[in-house]
Structure 1
Amino acid sequence: MNDDNSRELYDRALSVMPGGVNSAVRAAIEPYPFFVQNGDGGHVIDADGNRYIDWVMGLGPLMLGHDLPQPVQSRIQQKASEGPMYGTPTEIEVDLAEFVVRHVPSVEKIRFVNSGTEATVSAVRLARGATGRNKIVVNQGGYHGAQESTLVEGDAESVAPSSAGIPQSFAEHTIPVPFNDETAVREAFEEHGDDIAAVMTEPILGNYGIVHPEDGYHEFLREITEEHDSLLIFDEVITGFRVGGLGCAQSEFDVTPDLTTFGKLIGGGFPVGAVGGRADLIEQFAPSGPVFQAGTFSGHPVTMAAGLESLRFAAENDVYDHIDELGDRLRDGLSDIVDDQAPEYTVAGTAGMFKVIFTRDGQAPRNAADVKNAETDRWRRIFWGQMKEQGVFLSQNQFECQFVSYGHTDEDVDETLEAYKHAL
């Protein structure tokens, strides 16, 4: 494939942006990323005219694909034509709030923000403000955005910031434990229970391969947080409105958290985040409560319109059936290929999420450490490029999830499975 234009664009970008990108994962592709010109259904076309089946889907927000259905497109254009934004409330943010409250079990009230990171930052601040406590329990390998409270590494006994620029004193208020490890959570509460404001977890780890909870794990988290008057926060930035349909992953697992963070799908492909939950907790946000949270672009009318019309379209059409059926076909086909060609590898995912994890023993990963011990260099340096050469765009490393959209077709699945057969 010719990539002259992408190479030239990356050369220009290196002169004006750190690493030539505006989000670090985009630079994971070597020797340089391809630059996308436009999207088309379940495909993207790069700056050199190369066409790829796109299983990245903007890292998750594009449930409907790159071609938005006419009702969604029309509503977005209408809102954009009415004016960029106003600095005042608008009816459309009330409409979207009512839709979410109606469909998500845990959400009685909601505050819209501008990104998944902002949502998790606000949720942590709210948990601390509402409980009067300092510490947050998180899962190792869970990703909760680029924020000081969760950019940590290590374990409960020895925790440190995972990024320069974060004081050690910040990290000391975070307790990382392995996913699916009830004993580690119990020990954290035995030592720090009186100062644990919340446990924050993804229902399914989606940024460290795809790691599913073991039976009873989320129920255990619900029970132990209630026992200690701590909060349970589900970070559904990835799983929200994708796993479990309009009820989100919490309805799939039948566990009701105190707070839920959203992003990606709730904005229909535009920048967005949200924190929802019990009314008495969400009411702690300013102006009704003492926990400050604000944002000029929060509840942006174009984003609200995109989110509402996208979710309405999904509710009124066969979006989830289409996505889940293609997801099942992909995972079944990949399982057959892996069994035949690479039995040590693992196929993971559910609904519209999928990933082949290059494990070494054929066992599904229980936690982030299992994924980290997989053949991550082989995945990124060899396998990814072989898939790209066959016109298939996968997430940029072993850890990021891949997504099925309403814009994908049976033909896309068939072509992708053939590419996997060749690359593996």
Structure 2
Amino acid sequence: MNHERSRELYDRALSVSPGGVNSSVRATMPHPFFVERGDGGHVIDADGNRYVDWVMGYGPLLYGHDLPDPVESAVQSHAAAGPMYGAPTEIEVEHAEFVSRHVPSVESIRFVNSGTEATVSAVRLARGHTGRDKIVVMQGGYHGAQESTLVEGGPENPQPSTAGIPEEFAEHTLPIPFNDPQTVKEVFAEHGDDIAAVLVEPILANTGIVMPVDGYHETLRDLCDDHGALLIFDEVITGFRVGGLGCAQSKFGVTPDVTTFGKIIGGGFPVGAIGGRADVIEGFTPSGDVFQSGTFSGHPVTMAAGKATLEYAAENDVYEHVNRLGRKLREGITDICAERAPEYTVVGTDSMFKTVFTRETPVDAEAGCAGGCRQDSDCGRYDACPKTGADVAAAETDRWERVFWQEMKDRGVFLTANQFECQFTSYAHTEADVEKTLDAYREAI
């Protein structure tokens, strides 16, 4: 493939942007390719190269790059009416009503502008609601670029995970391993009266897609109830992608007090939201005393895109299609790995998929979950599959980034550039896209 134009654009970008990018995950080696346009389940770069796109904007593009006519019409009509108003609009009320009808935890909802803003606001709300300061998070979980969760270490030695955050901020965060009920019970036993909330992704979706072990979320729910803390599900990634319109909480049968959203809830436009029990969400100003506000919150174009996106999914076979392709990919990759790299673990559910380059080959490597790791304790791979963020970090992460990703790109398949970010199917993808990807896998693994 020729990448001359992308290389020129990257050279220019380095002069005006840190690292030449506006989001660090886009800084691929030796340089990123610059996308010129999307086409269904594909993107075409500045040099005219075409790729099957499984990145899907890191999740929000449920329909790929070609919006269904009702969604496109809704976007165009609201954009034509005016960019924004600084006043409420009917479409934001309608969108809130739709979400509250379908998501178990949502009685009330506040729209914001990004997943990060949603989780920042949810943490502030939990502290204001409970009068407590400490937040329990999962090691390897991701909740946006915010000070309260960019923390590493353990519950006894939390440290900021990036420069620019004072050490004192991390003192209020208690990082624990995902899927470790004993540790979370010990943390509540010691700090229960000071814990405002447990903030958890239902699935570690930014760390190789780690599913919960049986009963883990129920344990979190019970501990929060017993100690008067809030359970917050971060469904920025899983929302309206896992579990359909009911989101991951409906799939797992555990209802949190608060849910954060992003990505699909805005139909591909910048968005975030905090929904949950009415008595909790009403804590936001002006009805409560936890300040929250934003110039572009509830933007009419975003609200129109999000509402039309979810309505179209409700009226058509969208989830059947994307979930079927997701399973076909996971099953196909599992077969390829069984032959060529039996130590690797295929993960994912619904329309999400990934291959974690784990290092340990199970004794019974043939007995894996064909449709993606489900943390089945009867599975022959159970002891070897990732249970925590640390397990994923211990995989061959450099091999993915430096070798495999490059090989797949050269074969016209666009995957997320590191081992941690997950990949997504869309309504625009086809069986042919799946077969092309599996053929590339066979050559690249």
Shorter-chain TM-score range: over 0.9
Aligned to 2:17: 17
Determine helix, strand or coil for the equivalent of 2:404: helix
Does the 8 Å contact 1:330/1:413 carry over to 2?
A: yes
Quick one: distance in 2 between partners of 1:179 and 1:68? Answer: 36
Determine helix, strand or coil for the equivalent of 1:334: helix
Aligned to 2:7: 7
Deviation at 1:187, TM superposition (A): 1.2
Aligned to 2:329: 330
Deviation at 1:13, TM superposition (A): 0.4
Quick one: distance in 1 between partners of 2:385 and 2:258? Answer: 29
Q: CA offsets, 1:262-295, max 9 Å, x none?
A: 0000000000000000000000000000000000
Q: CA offsets, 1:121-178, max 9 Å, x none?
A: 0000000000000000000000000000000111111111011111111100000000
Quick one: distance in 1 between partners of 2:119 and 2:183? Answer: 23
Aligned to 2:219: 220
**Runs of 4+ in structure 1 over 6 Å off:** none
Asked whether 1:419 is paired with 2:440, we answer: yes
Aligned to 2:238: 239
User: Which amino acid counterpart does residue 138 of structure 1 have in structure 2?
Assistant: V
Aligned to 2:121: 122
Determine helix, strand or coil for the equivalent of 2:348: strand
Instruction: Give ranges in structure 1 of 5+ residues lacking alignment.
Output: none
Asked whether 1:356 is paired with 2:377, we answer: no
Deviation at 1:82, TM superposition (A): 0.3
Determine helix, strand or coil for the equivalent of 1:257: coil
Does the 8 Å contact 1:348/1:364 carry over to 2?
A: no
Determine helix, strand or coil for the equivalent of 1:136: strand
**Aligned partner of 2:391 among 366, 370, 373:** 370
Determine helix, strand or coil for the equivalent of 2:153: strand
Aligned to 2:284: 285
Quick one: distance in 2 between partners of 1:146 and 1:360? Answer: 30
Q: CA offsets, 1:6-35, max 9 Å, x none?
A: 0000000000000101111111x1010000
Shifted more, 100-109 versus 184-193: the winner is: 184-193
Determine helix, strand or coil for the equivalent of 1:52: strand
Normalised by the size of structure 1, how large is the TM-score?
0.99
Aligned to 2:418: 397
Does the 8 Å contact 1:57/1:65 carry over to 2?
A: yes
Determine helix, strand or coil for the equivalent of 2:72: helix
Mapping 1:183-262, distance limit 5 Å: 183-262=182-261
Quick one: distance in 2 between partners of 1:283 and 1:260? Answer: 14
Quick one: distance in 2 between partners of 1:287 and 1:408? Answer: 44
Deviation at 1:337, TM superposition (A): 0.4
Quick one: distance in 2 between partners of 1:89 and 1:239? Answer: 28
User: Which amino acid counterpart does residue 63 of structure 1 have in structure 2?
Assistant: L
User: Which amino acid counterpart does residue 203 of structure 1 have in structure 2?
Assistant: P
Q: CA offsets, 1:210-235, max 9 Å, x none?
A: 10000000000000110000000000
Normalised by the size of structure 2, how large is the TM-score?
0.95
Q: CA offsets, 1:306-342, max 9 Å, x none?
A: 0000110111011000001101110111110010110
**Aligned partner of 2:404 among 369, 380, 383:** 383
Quick one: distance in 2 between partners of 1:420 and 1:370? Answer: 23
Determine helix, strand or coil for the equivalent of 2:145: coil
Deviation at 1:184, TM superposition (A): 1.1
Deviation at 1:190, TM superposition (A): 1.2
Q: CA offsets, 1:96-137, max 9 Å, x none?
A: 000000000000000000000000000000000000000000
Instruction: Give ranges in structure 2 of 5+ residues lacking alignment.
Output: 362-383
Quick one: distance in 1 between partners of 2:230 and 2:408? Answer: 43
Mapping 1:173-192, distance limit 5 Å: 173-192=172-191
Mapping 1:60-139, distance limit 5 Å: 60-139=59-138
Mapping 1:153-172, distance limit 5 Å: 153-172=152-171
RMSD, aligned CA: 0.5
Deviation at 1:364, TM superposition (A): 1.6
Q: CA offsets, 1:173-210, max 9 Å, x none?
A: 00000000011111111111110000000000011111
Deviation at 1:70, TM superposition (A): 0.9
Quick one: distance in 1 between partners of 2:396 and 2:19? Answer: 25
